[in-house]
A and B are shown apart, each in its own frame.
Chain A
Amino acid sequence: MSENGNGKKELVEIFVDGQPVKVLPGINAIEAAKVAGKEIPHYCYHPKLSVVGNCRMCLMEMGTPMRDRETGEPILEEDGSQKIGWIPKPVIGCSTNVSPGMHIKTESDLVKDCREGVMEFLLVNHPLDCPICDQAGECSLQEYAMDYGRGYSRYEERKNVKPKRTRLGPRVTLDDERCVLCSRCIRFGQEIADQDVLGFVDRGSFSTLTCHPNKELDHNYSLNTVDICPVGALTSTDFRFKMRVWFLKESPSICTESSIGANTTVWSREGTIHRITPRRNDAVNDTWMTDSGRELFNQVAADTRLTSFQIGGNSADATASIEEATGLLSKGKTAVVASCHQSVEEQFITRKIADHLNSSVYIARHLGKGDGLLLSEDRTPNTRGALLNGLTDNLPTEDLSSLAEKIDSEKVDTLLVCREDLTRVGLSEAQLEKVKLVLLDTQTSATASHADVQLPALTVFEKNGTFVNLNFRLQKFSQAVPGPAGLLPDTLILSKILSTLTGESFPDSPATIWKSLSQSNSNFKGIDFSSIPTDGIQLEKSAFDHIDFPEKQSLKYSPAAITG
């Protein structure tokens, strides 16, 4: 790889089907052809895994400029143009790296023949399962059979029979007949998840993917093998036979499991979420996410969900509840408990409310064990947002014992609690009894049972907003499904409280809040909500270098101590 003075890689010019195109040095022909807008079909190649070249689908023709062996002078055609030395046989695109002046052919007759041949062999023993196969609609085999296949079968013998429902692990079911032996799942286990339990046994057309005896594919990243399976061999036990993918609406979202902020796609139909899959972001999560993060959508329809506005335990309408809440907050000696589960916009308004009430803000931290990959120690999605918003100067505290003391000493008699169960962070139910409590949360908790005013909140799947992940990357999530009937977005509730308190109107949607936010907070200067790209914006983080964050090394994060 050549680098120029700026440390920027110099581009290499190659020719894809005669078209000159400049690409990064060192990438392979599949990626290079993608830059040129040409597709080289492939099964086993995956941009984030090692190259093995065993599917042979990416066969193409390749040639390099000819040079005289002795003098090194370019050999020219009769018309004076550079002579290309074509390799007489096709080569595979995935393990062919680009070199200057390289020519590749992706559409020649030879290449088409190769693809038809490979497709024919892959389909020889492939079952006619498409009507019952969960991969139908997003299956490489289906797509390539249409685009590059022969269109009919010459095979008349009986197809091979392999096990149809092998349980590989608690979340993955294997249908061996559909497997095209690409080995992506095996490499994923070896290279990413560090649990090498899958492998091929038997030979030839009897080759079968199996799990090591007495072991299970049970690591917390097992469902990524389902995502990268180009066919319907590995299926999610949870999503199996639930819904055809062509009915599902895709909404870009952010995983709230930890401060990693993995980019996700939420797949829903008519207001019901059916699955969550990772969305590629090379700066955050590559193409992976945790299994545990995929289960978070269950909170949307959980029995414990708060679904009504309540005053003193009795259902009330939204306006009355917000007015009652405002009344309580303005009268008492109020403290605000904010949360790192709130979006940047919600934290911004919470800060404003606290400023107006002249009350102090408490935030509790929620730590767990990290796995060094895509599950970080900080189990909240937006700690950095709280810092940037000035909700807190330092890290959230382990528990809220200081708040408990103030309640005991009667310095605080009213609480505005956002997205937090106080009984889990150091407060007793007796202390909650003493204070007037306004709660904004999604799930029932011991705190909710003491709330004088209960304001039901929306989950991340039901609203728009932004989080700031552990690398200070500002990332946007979009609403996937409508919230339960009658519920209002958190930003609207908080903004109504603020505007009732101050008597001035305040913006209540993320887009309008961002206009105010980007003006008043230099950390977010010049950012417009609608123009935040799907892969996020890297924010300036040097101001927080002095903070000793709890996160340890993970896929895309290094603690400051290590990086120096």
Chain B
Amino acid sequence: MPGKTKVLERKPLSLAERTYLPQIATGLKTTLSNLFEKKVTREYPEQPPPIPDGYRGVPTLVKDPNGREKCVSCQLCEFVCPPKAIRISPGELDETGETAHVEKGPEEFEINMLRCIYCGLCQEVCPEEAIWLQNVYSLSGYTREEFVNNKEKLYEMGGTLPDSHFKWDKKKSAENEGNPHH
């Protein structure tokens, strides 16, 4: 369509433009100004990022402040786990031990981190508040077996968390002093 096409006139470059010097100076200015600004990157993995509250990292087992393992192997987490990453072998606790009144605990507890999708349902469903998703988010290993966290490893990563209920301690004190039977 003649008449509708506008032909722009291409001006010849000026001397300054042909030397590229002003452009180089402008670029260097940007570079130099960034040298003195706050860094927006960090030296990962030496500098780990701050983890916000409620972050869902690796699921772990925790003990209560008295060192009692909180998990009673009710297997609700195993049931709710969408990718079926959890596997528990339930067992009876030693009848003479300190925690005999709890009766039940996990003989083995395995979480397969290759399956885990960090959804946090296990923590949500746990009636004993024994399983918590912690800050650790980066796992590495050479074999598949390394990614199956067993009970020992889960407690090692989980450590101890404060407890506001002490449900089983109350139970024990009731057994010792409460509502005598005869």
Could you tell me which A residues sit within 8 Å of B by CB distance?
Answer: 127-128, 130-132, 136, 158-162, 164-165, 202, 206, 208, 240-244, 246-247
Q: Which residues of B contact A165 (CB under 8 A)?
A: 95, 103
Q: Which residues of B contact A131 (CB under 8 A)?
A: 72, 74, 76, 127-128
Q: Is the CB of B74 within 8 A of A132?
A: yes
What is the number of residues of chain B that contact chain A, defined by CB distance less than 8 Å? 26
CB-defined A-B contacts under 8 Å, sample of 10: A130-B74, A131-B127, A132-B72, A132-B73, A158-B178, A159-B179, A162-B181, A164-B103, A165-B95, A202-B182
Q: Is the CB of B104 within 8 A of A206?
A: no
* Distance between Cα atoms of A345 and B49 in the complex (Å): 68
Q: Is the CB of B103 within 8 A of A247?
A: no
Chain A minimum-CB-distance residue to B95: A165
| B101 CB–A CB distance under 8 Å | yes
Q: Is the CB of A244 within 8 A of B74?
A: yes
Q: Which residues of B contact A244 (CB under 8 A)?
A: 74-75, 79, 90
Q: Which residues of A contact B10 (CB under 8 A)?
A: none
* Distance between Cα atoms of A506 and B142 in the complex (Å): 53
Q: Which residues of B contact A136 (CB under 8 A)?
A: 74
* Distance between Cα atoms of A463 and B178 in the complex (Å): 54
Q: Which residues of A contact B181 (CB under 8 A)?
A: 160-162, 202, 206, 208
Scan residues 78-121 of chain B and give those whose CB is less than 8 A from a CB of chain A. Answer: 78-79, 90-92, 95, 101-104
| B175 CB–A CB distance under 8 Å | yes
| B11 CB–A CB distance under 8 Å | no
| B28 CB–A CB distance under 8 Å | no
Q: Is the CB of A247 within 8 A of B79?
A: yes
**Contact A242 to B178, CB < 8 A, known contacts A130-B127, A131-B76, A131-B127:** no
Q: What is the minimal beta-carbon distance from A201 to any residue of chain B, in angstroms?
A: 10
| B174 CB–A CB distance under 8 Å | yes
Q: Is the CB of A158 within 8 A of B179?
A: yes
Q: Which residues of B contact A240 (CB under 8 A)?
A: 92
Chain A minimum-CB-distance residue to B92: A241
| B4 CB–A CB distance under 8 Å | no
| B38 CB–A CB distance under 8 Å | no
The 5 tightest CB contacts between A and B, nearest first, are A131-B74, A132-B104, A158-B178, A131-B127, A244-B75
Q: Is the CB of B179 within 8 A of A132?
A: no
| B167 CB–A CB distance under 8 Å | yes
Q: Which residues of A contact B74 (CB under 8 A)?
A: 130-132, 136, 244
Q: Which residues of A contact B174 (CB under 8 A)?
A: 158-159, 161
Q: What is the minimal beta-carbon distance from A371 to any residue of chain B, in angstroms?
A: 32
* Distance between Cα atoms of A247 and B77 in the complex (Å): 12
Q: What is the minimal beta-carbon distance from A66 to any residue of chain B, in angstroms?
A: 49
* Distance between Cα atoms of A97 and B101 in the complex (Å): 45
* Distance between Cα atoms of A100 and B101 in the complex (Å): 54
* Distance between Cα atoms of A206 and B178 in the complex (Å): 13
Q: Is the CB of A161 within 8 A of B175?
A: yes
Q: Is the CB of A160 within 8 A of B104?
A: no
Q: Which residues of B contact A208 (CB under 8 A)?
A: 181
Q: Is the CB of B95 within 8 A of A246?
A: no
Q: Which residues of A contact B95 (CB under 8 A)?
A: 165
* Distance between Cα atoms of A159 and B180 in the complex (Å): 10
Q: What is the minimal beta-carbon distance from A511 to any residue of chain B, in angstroms?
A: 33
* Distance between Cα atoms of A241 and B93 in the complex (Å): 10
**Contact A247 to B75, CB < 8 A, known contacts A131-B127, A158-B178:** yes
If A131-B76, A206-B181, A244-B90 are given as contacts, then 11 extra A-B residue pairs at C-beta distance below 8 Å, sorted by A number, are A128-B167, A130-B74, A131-B127, A132-B74, A158-B178, A158-B179, A159-B174, A208-B181, A241-B90, A243-B90, A247-B78
* Distance between Cα atoms of A165 and B171 in the complex (Å): 15
Q: Which residues of B contact A162 (CB under 8 A)?
A: 181
Cβ-defined partner of B179 (8 Å) among A128, A160, A246? A160
Q: What is the minimal beta-carbon distance from A362 to any residue of chain B, in angstroms?
A: 47
**Contact A161 to B90, CB < 8 A, known contacts A131-B127, A132-B103:** no
Q: Which residues of A contact B128 (CB under 8 A)?
A: 131
* Distance between Cα atoms of A306 and B128 in the complex (Å): 44
Q: What is the minimal beta-carbon distance from B79 to any residue of chain A, in angstroms?
A: 6
Chain B minimum-CB-distance residue to A125: B179
Q: Is the CB of A161 within 8 A of B79?
A: no
Chain A minimum-CB-distance residue to B76: A131
Q: What is the minimal beta-carbon distance from A226 to any residue of chain B, in angstroms?
A: 17
* Distance between Cα atoms of A357 and B92 in the complex (Å): 57
Q: What is the minimal beta-carbon distance from B171 to any residue of chain A, in angstroms?
A: 8
Q: What is the minimal beta-carbon distance from A496 to any residue of chain B, in angstroms?
A: 38
Among A128, A159, A241, the one with the most B-chain Cβ atoms within 10 Å of its Cβ is: A241
